Amino acid sequence: MIVVLKRIVTDEEKRDLIQMIEKMGLEVKDAGSENHGVLGLVGDTTKVDITHIEAQHVVDKVMKVQEPYKLASRTFQPMDTVIDIGGHKIGGDNLTIIGGPCSVESEEQIMHIAREVKAAGGHLLRGGAFKPRTSPYSFQGLGEEGLKFLKKAKAETGLPIITEAMSIEEFDLIEQYADIIQIGARNMQNFALLKHAGRSSKPICLKRGMSATIEEFLMSAEYIMASGNPNVILCERGIRTFESYTRNTLDLAVVSAIKELSHLPILIDPSHATGRWQLVEPVSRAAVAIGAHGLMIEVHNDPEHALSDGQQSLKPERFTKLVKIVEKIHQIV
């Protein structure tokens, strides 16, 4: 951590600040000139609250040198985290394809789609039972009934289940049904939910908030890990920018960034990232080409009658084609 002092600081004020920092268990090195004080802080700064140092009246600004996360960091754990879900491995050199509808709408619908996802070569089944919707007047999901349908689909196809929890109550219910529990973009900094997820034995799929930095994304993973759950799977689903042609702007370079900074697996959700089914296949190709550990794709047998997100859902035949081409690309890269 680097502390830049204000221009006009007395020797005594500087000495006081150094003493204060040393009391925090850090070593202080002088990295500035006579005219402009700059201090280097050496030691474990992950637990230092930057705002505390910024609040000192002689301090101009504070800059981080090290990442503020530890358990999620590749420095801490050099080897890739690989998570085993009923025999299928997520992370490392494996490519994971997750398919399924935005919302579970009926037993018939989810059974039909699950079979198609399985036949196409998908590894996990997604499907929302509790839906985060911008409008209180939109379809909010089938609730526990939806979870029961997912369980039946798993029983028949063998596909493990991933589904989203939006609150602690839902989490405890979903834990009984799902193989992976998803925390959505809007809850990426729902710290109460993150801590709760950290006490679960089930793997967590954490989606990046739509305006979260990569550092904040990994800090939210750190929340889960610091509460005891090491099995976190990251998922990028696009960030919010001024561009409105696509629903969000997919920040694909995040894959390379995460692989450098962390050992956790990183998936891409091309359906939410683009909001348009026509873009799902091209973006999926790009995601696998850049090195993503997997894809989470919305698949629907009848998008025109879907209760949500039909505009970004692929029909099974297109999904099948997508799986084939991304597997070819995966073999090359």
How far is it, in rounded angstroms, from Cα 98 to Cα 70? 29
Contacting a second copy (CB under 8 A), which of 29, 86, 106, 145?
A: 29
Three-state secondary-structure class, residue 39: strand
CB of 265 to a second copy, least distance (A): 16
For residue 24, the minimal CB distance to a second copy (Å) is 13
Q: Does 30 bind a second copy (CB under 8 A)?
A: yes
| Closer by beta carbon to a second copy, 86 or else 256 | 256
Q: Out of 43, 121, 143, 230, which residue is the one contacting a second copy (CB under 8 A)?
A: 43
Task: Report d(CA 57, CA 80) in Å as an integer.
Answer: 43
Q: How far is the CB of 278 from a second copy (least distance, A)?
A: 7
Q: CB of 85: closest distance to a second copy in angstroms?
A: 25
Residues 64-123 that bind a second copy (CB under 8 A): 65-66, 68, 75
- Rounded to a whole number of angstroms, the distance between the first and last alpha carbons of the chain is 37
**Residue 15 in the binding site for a second copy (CB under 8 A):** no
- For a second copy, the closer CB: 159 or 273: 273
> How many CA atoms lie less than 13 Å away from 192 in the CB half-sphere?
7
Please report how close the Cβ of residue 86 comes to a second copy at its closest, in angstroms: 29
* 153 vs 209: CA distance, rounded Å: 29
- CA 275 vs. chain centroid, Å, equals 18
- CB 325 → a second copy: shortest distance, Å? 7
- Does position 138 bind a second copy by CB under 8 A? yes
Among 98, 193, 232, 322, binds a second copy (CB under 8 A): 193
d(CA 279, CA 270) in angstroms, rounded, equals 8
SS3 readout for 37-75? CEEEEECCCCCCCHHHHHCCCCEEEEECCCCCCCCCECC
Residue with the two structure tokens 């002088």: 30
- Whole-number Å distance between alpha carbons of 242 and 59: 34
Q: Which of these, 93, 51, 83, lies nearest to 68 by C-alpha position?
A: 51
Q: Which residues, numbered 310-329, are part of the site for a second copy (CB under 8 A)?
A: 310-313, 325, 328-329
DSSP H/E element including 324 = helix 316-332
Beta carbons within 8 Å of 157's beta carbon, 6+ residues apart: 114, 115, 117, 118, 125
CB 124 within 8 A of CB 96: yes
User: Residue 32 or 230: which CB sits closer to a second copy?
Assistant: 32
Count of positions on this chain that bind a second copy (CB under 8 A): 107
Phi/psi at 76 (5° precision):
-75, -45
Judged by CB under 8 A, does residue 10 bind a second copy?
no
Residues 229-288 that bind a second copy (CB under 8 A): 239-246, 249-253, 255-257, 260, 273-274, 278-279, 282-283, 285-288
CB of 169 closer than 8 Å to CB of 192 = no
* Binding status of residue 181 toward a second copy by CB under 8 A: no
Site for a second copy in 156-175 (CB under 8 A): 166-170
Answer for which of 15, 22, 25, 27 binds a second copy (CB under 8 A) is 27
Residue list 200-239, contact with a second copy (CB under 8 A): 209-211, 213-216, 219, 222-223, 226-227, 239
Identify which of residues 119 and 168 has a Cβ nearer to a second copy in the complex.
168
d(C-alpha 171, C-alpha 173), whole Å: 5
Which residue number, 15 or 36, has a Cβ lying nearer to a second copy?
36
Point out which span in 63-71, 80-88, 150-158, 228-236 binds a second copy (CB under 8 A): 63-71
Q: Which helix (H) or strand (E) holds 90?
A: strand 88-90
